[in-house]
């Protein structure tokens, strides 16, 4: 089974949505985790954006990349520039891939306005997985 670690700064939005999406899309052939360089909380908007497409991440928690120290992953995907710059060392056998997405946590306004931004980023992540990342994982 191939393993994937998705990294972001807070492990609150992008990496959480990416973890939920990839688990749903890749099936049982992949072990998928997410973490942050400075973990915080899982945003309500991320939970709601994925619930809208039938994916439940309500039991997820924000995790530190330190929780995965010494663990081998086949792939590490950084989804923000800060995580790429602060990504810890992984063994040479780990393939590191970077694709930056806008941080929906920066959205302002009421819940519905913020949720709209989370859904936009969710769709960008899903499109990236469908068009590129799943092909990379299968090679």
Q: Which amino acids are annotated catalytic?
A: 8, 80, 87
Residue 92: other Cβ atoms inside 10 A: 6
First to last CA, the chain: 13
**Are 34 and 11 spatial neighbours (Cβ–Cβ below 8 Å)?**
yes
Nearest-angstrom CA–CA distance, 93 and 126: 26
């Amino acid at each position: 089974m191939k393993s994937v670690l998705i990294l972001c700064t807070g492990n609150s939005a992008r990496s959480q949505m990416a973890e939920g999406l990839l688990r749903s899309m890749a099936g049982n052939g992949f072990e998928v985790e997410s973490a942050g360089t400075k973990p915080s909380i899982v945003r309500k908007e991320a939970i709601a954006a994925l619930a809208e497409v039938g994916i439940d991440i309500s039991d997820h928690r924000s995790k530190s990349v330190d929780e995965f120290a010494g663990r081998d992953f086949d792939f590490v995907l950084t989804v923000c520039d800060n995580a790429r710059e602060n990504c810890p060392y992984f063994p040479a056998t780990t393939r590191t891939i970077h694709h930056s997405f806008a941080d929906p946590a920066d959205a302002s306004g009421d819940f519905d306005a913020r949720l709209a931004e989370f859904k936009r980023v969710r769709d960008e992540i899903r499109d990236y997985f469908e068009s590129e990342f799943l092909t990379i994982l299968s090679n």
